[in-house]
Amino acid sequence: MGNHQVNMNASEHGLFWSQYINDTLSICVFKYFLKHVKDEQIRGVLEFALGLAEGHVVKVKQFLKAENEPIPAGFTDEDVTVGAPPLFTDTYMIVYVHIMAIHGMTRYSGGIAGCLREDYIKYISECIKETMELYEKTSKILLEKGIISKPPVLNNKAKVDFIDKQSFMTGWFGDRRPINAIEISGTYLNIQKTVGKMVLELGFGQVARSKKVRDYMDRGRKVCQKQYERLSQMLKEDNLHVPTTFETEVTDSTVPPFSDKLMLYHVTTLLSSAVGYYGEALSMSQRRDFSAAYMKMIAEIGILAEDGMNLLIENGWMEQPPTATDHDSLSKRK
């Protein structure tokens, strides 16, 4: 069967819809960053990232038009004031792109599993490759400039061994075993992402026009700060270093570079995605106290994300994703 005879399935449609929304948001952020960035190396990465986002938007439009599907509203030039004073330093700009590249790789590698059409698979494969290149570029700069803390190095060179006691799972009482490499991986990644959100919440809370949005950002930052401390403790217990925070990379500007809609949507979706990252770390944790901590954080962040969605809906800012036909409503129409 030729590709032209295969309709876009719901998984593919959802992936492209989300990509369009997220990349139109990224275009707004990268254009603003490019107006203010001073470091030429970081500028080069921002230009590369902007080019990727703009290319994705063009391609997704083509896919949707070919299926006679509506193009999402997404975000536009109306959602960004490029000339607003800088809200973040160059340092945070490169940290931000690095974290967004991690999100992109996760989203595309998960999304490709729902793609069946050859042209869609080829396109998403290319997106994965591009995003990996972006991740590589940001990692290189972060390491060269000493901006990012590398994950802890384990100095224990003991021989290969097998677990012989059920106490390996213990976490609340008695002697707790040290954190293992798999648990460190999940903890470190979640600290990195939490640190990234805290900076956005601080900056956005400083410039948002709506008091409700400002209050939400403040509440979000406090929740993320508490979770940062909880995650950090998992490493500190075994004398492992913790990734640095970047709240000092927020300037004193109170002029909003973005619409409240963009800022609220951005933070809310990052909080929602944190549920998935915490869930993955939970699945890899083999100490009960770590599992309990992740379950608690999932509940806290889930409530916060839901409240953000409700605030978006209340303001008429939440665009509805493609939805299945409501046959019940159709059958009840007068």
- Position 236 scores a pLDDT of 93
Domain co-membership, 140 together with 210:
no
pTM > 0.75: yes
Which one, of 221, 193, 220, lies nearest residue 280 by Cα?
A: 193
β-sheet bridge partners, residue 88:
250
- Final residue before a domain boundary, out of 144, 163, 191: 144
Residues in the chain, total = 334
Domain assignment of residue 259, yes or no: yes
For residue 322, is it within any domain?
no
Residue 319 lies in a domain: no
Name the residue among 89, 97, 35 with its Cα closest to residue 252: 89
**Structure confidence at residue 1 (pLDDT):** 41
Within a 13 Å sphere around the CA of 205, how many CA atoms are in the beta-carbon half? 16
pLDDT for residue 290 = 93
Say yes or no: 129 and 186 in one domain.
no
Q: For residues 234 and 117, state if they share a domain.
A: no
pLDDT of residue 163: 61
| pLDDT at 170 exceeding the cut of 70 | no
Say if CB 245 and CB 195 are below 8 A apart. Answer: yes
Which of residues 90, 123, 144 is at a domain's end?
A: 144
Confidence bin at 178 (pLDDT 50/70/90): confident
d(CA 262, CA 122): 30
Residues 272 and 182 in one domain: yes
Q: Is there a single domain that holds both residue 208 and residue 131?
A: no
Q: What is the pLDDT of residue 160?
A: 59
Q: Is residue 16 classed as helix, strand or coil in its secondary structure?
A: helix
How high does pLDDT run on average in the chain? Answer: 91
**pLDDT in the model for residue 264:** 98
Q: Is residue 159 part of a domain?
A: no
- Domain membership flag for residue 190: yes
Assign residue 232 the CATH number of its domain.
Answer: 1.20.1260.10
Residue 321 maps to a domain: no
Same domain, 128 and 229: no
Is 2 among the domain residues? no
- 182 and 308 part of one domain: yes
Bridge partners of residue 258, in order along the sequence: 80
Q: Record the tokens describing residue 22, joined without a space.
A: 């997220």
Residue 137 DSSP label:
H
**pLDDT value at residue 150:** 77
Whether the predicted pLDDT of 4 surpasses 60: no
* Rounded Cα distance, 220 and 304, in Å: 7
Asked if residue 301 and residue 195 are part of one domain, the reply reads yes
Note whether 140 and 246 are same-domain residues: no
Tell me, yes or no, whether 256 and 182 share the same domain: yes
pLDDT band of residue 165 (cuts 50, 70, 90) is low
- Tell whether 195 and 123 lie within a shared domain: no
Q: Which domain holds residue 94?
A: 9-144
Number of separate domains in the chain? 2
Asked whether the beta carbons of 228 and 198 are under 8 A apart, the reply is: yes
Domain presence at residue 327: no
Do residues 127 and 219 share a domain? no
